[in-house]
A and B are shown apart, each in its own frame.
Chain A
Amino acid sequence: MDQVMTDTDWEGLSSKQLDVMERKIAGKYMRIIPWGAVAWGIGNLFVWLALWPLVLTGALPLWLGFLIATVNISICYLPSHEAQHNIIAGRGQPLRWLNELVGHLSTIPLVSPYRVLRYTHYEHHLHTNNPELDPDYEVHANSSLHFLWKSLLNRQPASERSEAYPNTLQRTGNGHMIIDALIYQVIYLAILFTLAWSGYALEAALLWWIPKHIATTYIEYYLSWAPHHPGHEQGRYKDTRGFRSYFGNILSMGMQYHIIHHLYPRIPLSKTPVAYRDLKPILVRRGCDLGGL
């Protein structure tokens, strides 16, 4: 798109022409290696790991360790998310190993295996807002407060949410990946129990257990609830919305522009705001809910 398009120019385009323009604009922002996400994913893990010796030796106060750990775990999902969509490198590319490394390492603090996240996330993209097939459907709620309440209920032992990912993996023929989740969970609980009975229960709670719960709420709010609310509609231009967060784009983890991610999952997170601005005239004509963004 070399020349500036006016409103009249856009109005004159057919649906097929809009489609061609959309793909052409989106293409400008794909095939870009997000080096920031690579450094973020690996660096963030090392900062979180460093908290343990620092706090256990008394070099860092526990309250400060708690705050840093909460930030670490809250931001650990997104680099893996870039890897899940093969944004760092696709199959057969020289940096494929780095894509997989970032995918596996970054979500360790969240106790979430990469393969489980990847294949359930693909189903979320394929079936967004479908009550039967979207593995994140249980996150839907009527309001922010309702979301918080449901988020608490969703992590109770008997909740349907705890079955959503295993069921999705079974349904898609990836049931063998449940073993990854079991291994992660066994190691996590074994570490928590060992630390707790060795006299470090407060450290285990404040560096991992509680930050992980806070982070899960935060991640689900901005990645699953807010961009898909109210979640009644399905379809390419209807299942995700733009929204304006009270906390800005960085604190909402870039999710104000999540609609771009659902339309073009290979666009790196850092490029979704600029891609949104370029694509906005088309999204308006497609009838997307842009939430005043």
Chain B
Amino acid sequence: MKLLSIFFSPFVFGIGFITPLIAQILMNLTVIEDPIFAYAIGLAIGSALGLMAQFRGSWLWIR
């Protein structure tokens, strides 16, 4: 159950989905061409959003 709650956590969603999504959007729009840099940006945004959602209980800050 503990493992499941971690898997369902916003932070894991931020890393598991938002990170590669942002990286691939940046690369598709040719904003960033270097994949490592794109994924680093994705990770920074994805993990920050995930942490906010985790501790605030909202992806929008507002609840």
Contact = CB atoms under 8 A, between A and B. Distances in A.
A127 to B, nearest CB: 26
Given A157-B10, A199-B24, A201-B21, A192 B57 contact: no
A159 B63 CA distance: 8
A153 B16 CA distance: 22
A242 to B, nearest CB: 34
* Interface SS majority for chain B: helix
Contacts of B23: 201
Contact of A185 (B8, B19, B21, B60): B8
A201 B20 contact: yes
Contacts, number: 60
A158 B24 contact: no
Interface in B22-57: 23-25, 28, 53-54, 56-57
Contact of A158 (B4, B13, B63): B63
Contacts of B57: 156-159
Contacts of A196: 16-17, 19-21, 24
A153 B58 CA distance: 8
Contacts of B20: 196-197, 199, 201
Contacts of B17: 189, 192-193, 196, 201, 204, 209
Interface in A2-34: none
A157 B60 contact: no
A185 B16 CA distance: 14
Nearest to B24: A201
A209 B8 CA distance: 15
A53 to B, nearest CB: 20
B63 A205 contact: no
Contacts of B58: 153, 156-158
A182 interface: yes
B63 to A, nearest CB: 6
Nearest to B62: A153
Contacts of B54: 157
B24 A193 contact: no
Nearest to B21: A201
A156 B59 contact: yes
Contact of A156 (B13, B21, B28, B63): B63
Contact of B8 (A189, A197, A204): A189
B7 A202 contact: no
A156 B19 CA distance: 19
A156 B8 contact: no
B53 A156 contact: yes
Interface string A143-164: 0000000001100111100000
B19 to A, nearest CB: 8
A186 interface: yes
A75 B44 CA distance: 36
A199 B35 CA distance: 11
A79 B52 CA distance: 38
6 contacts: A157-B57, A159-B63, A192-B17, A197-B16, A201-B20, A201-B21
Closest 8 CB pairs of A and B: A158-B57, A193-B16, A196-B20, A201-B21, A156-B58, A201-B20, A201-B24, A196-B17
